[in-house]
Amino acid sequence: MERVPILKIGEILFVSIQIDLQDDTVIRLQEDLADELGATGAHGVLIDITAVEIVDSFIGRMLTTIGSISRLFDAETVLVGMRPAVAITLTELGLSLGGVRTALNAEKGLELLNGKS
């Protein structure tokens, strides 16, 4: 099973998903992020899904769960870089990703997490 790396940049944990996500990989990411949040006290999680070709109901639910877990650690999650085709498909699938903020790209996501907008 592949793992998604988590980078700490200042007060923010940065995750860029560059692989084809398996269910196990997403569950592992969720656990790794919870550990990192607890260990670092980071106040934000930025998840870049520019390279993600599909978000199905399982991956979508895990992204929502990551948002909920982060909040318990007093951190906010911002999802950035969603492809237009993924956004259309997610909506048709019936997923709203409630509780997770989104931004167009990593730069705007960072501004959001740093309270500049």
Nearer to other proteins, 10 or 58 (CB): 58
- Rounded to a whole number of angstroms, the minimum distance from the CB of residue 20 to other proteins is 5
In sequence order, the 6+-apart residues with CB closer than 8 A to the CB of 84 are: none
Helix (H, G, I), strand (E, B) or coil at 35: helix
What element of type H or E holds 96? none
Nearer to other proteins, 50 or 114 (CB): 50
- Rounded to a whole number of angstroms, the minimum distance from the CB of residue 89 to other proteins is 5
- Rounded to a whole number of angstroms, the minimum distance from the CB of residue 117 to other proteins is 29
- Burial per residue of 26-49, b for 16 or more beta-carbon CB atoms within 10 angstroms, e otherwise: beebeebbbebbeeeebbbbbbbb
- Rounded to a whole number of angstroms, the minimum distance from the CB of residue 76 to other proteins is 23
Distance CA 90, CA 93 (A): 5
- Summarize as ranges the residues that interact with other proteins (CB under 8 A): 1, 20-25, 53-58, 60-61, 83-86, 88-89, 92-95
Nearer to other proteins, 22 or 105 (CB): 22
